[in-house]
Amino acid sequence: MSRVIMYREALNEAIAEEMRRDRTVFLAGEGVAERGGSFRTSVGLLDEFGPERVVDTPISEASFTGLGVGAAIVGCRPIIEILFVDFATLIMDQLVNQAAKYDFMSGGRGRVPMVVRTQGGSGNGLAAQHSQSLEAWFYHVPGLKVVMPATPYDAKGLLKSAIRDDDPVVFIEHKLLYMSKGEAPEEEYTVPLGRADVKREGNDVTLISYSRHTLLCLEAARKLSEEGIDVEVVDLRTLSPLDKETILASARKTGRVVVVHEACKQGGVGGDIAAMIMEEAFDYLDAPVVRVAGLDTPIPFNVTLENACTPDIKKICSAARLLLYRNEVM
């Protein structure tokens, strides 16, 4: 039976269900136990599972991420929560040089089944050190899987799959999604990693996105439909592994593609996706692939300036019209 729940409730359910299913799963991070998490994603877990499996850590990301890597190597399935993705600067050695490479460097004899949960993105006026979108860092590293769900349904199903996966997974949640609502079944389900979802079928232009900006693309598609423009929306859900087949199929179908993400355009995931489409579906395109991305600047504290730095529905609609009519300046 399906019901409407909040994104943060979906995450909470996923963690609780996996902890009940597998006693090797534990959660560790700053404020995850007694406070129930800064974004209320671990409420009630301490009461059910106790302080040995729901662990409030010191403010030392490098140390408790290293703890997670070690615990995973010896047979546990840790969920390590990094409060803001900006603080990933403090754990890159543990994550990139240890967790991501352990399988390869051990000749396949060792695995690191660890999930690093964190949140990113702008929207709350938290300024440059707490508002970044850094998914391209992790996307670039062989051995890491990267997941960025947009809906409560996907958040729950993908987190359960990530916890069960035998590789290290970076699971990034947008800070503006925690209070969003959507349908999710009460019964057991998972969503496989590496499989995109066509959230809306269309024939004129494809919008490709992930995380919160999938929802903006869906709203842009609704607005464009009022103008007679039939838009397809592809939600990547998982950046690594990347579902190239779904991306290419949609590009070949519509012949026009806009890639949308909040992260800076320079070095962003969108550039890689655009290049892949140009390399493998060029003959099907009626126009070059367009990227709508964040400006190449630190995020300002001022909310008006913050909003000006990131894609919105108007910018997405303009890009789609540009591909169709080639006469509108973005």
CA 250 to chain centroid, in Å, comes to 21
pLDDT surpasses 50 at 327: no
Backbone phi, psi, residue 143, to 5°: 100, -15
Which is catalytic among the residues 18, 61, 81, 306? 61
Could you say which of 3.40.50.920, 3.40.50.970, 3.30.70.100, 3.40.50.20 is the CATH number of the domain covering 197-325? 3.40.50.920
Residues 44, 31: Cα–Cα separation, whole Å:
13
pLDDT in tens, 194-209: 999 999 999 999 999 9
Residues 190, 98: Cα–Cα separation, whole Å:
28
In the residue annotation, 34 being an active-site residue is answered as no
Alpha helices in 108-211 (DSSP H): 135-139, 152-164
pTM of the predicted structure, to 2 decimals:
0.96
Domain ranges of the chain: 2-185, 197-325
pLDDT in tens, 251-298: 999 999 999 999 999 999 999 999 999 999 999 999 999 999 999 999
Sheet (strand 54-56) strand order: 54-56, 25-29, 77-82, 115-120, 169-174, 145-147, 238-240
Q: What is the DSSP string of 70-131?
A: HHHHTT-EEEEEESSGGGGGGTHIIIIIIITTHHHHTTTS-----EEEEEE---SS--TTS-
Residues 212, 148: Cα–Cα separation, whole Å:
9
The closest of 19, 9, 82, 30 to 53, measured between CA atoms, is 19
The reported pLDDT for the residue numbered 124 is: 87
In the residue annotation, 213 being an active-site residue is answered as no
Fold match between domain 2-185 and domain 197-325: yes
pLDDT in tens, 48-64: 999 999 999 999 999 99
Q: Beta strands 238-240 and 231-235: pairing type? A: unpaired
Helix (H, G, I), strand (E, B) or coil at 142: coil
The reported pLDDT for the residue numbered 2 is: 81
Alpha helices in the chain (DSSP H): 7-21, 45-49, 61-73, 92, 102-105, 135-139, 152-164, 212-225, 244-254, 269-280, 303-308, 313-325
pLDDT surpasses 60 at 329: no
The reported pLDDT for the residue numbered 74 is: 97
Which is catalytic among the residues 18, 130, 135, 232? 130
- What CATH superfamily classification does 2-185 receive? Thiamin diphosphate (ThDP)-binding fold, Pyr/PP domains (3.40.50.970)
pLDDT surpasses 80 at 137: yes
Burial class (CB in 10 A: 0-12, 13-18, 19+), 297: exposed
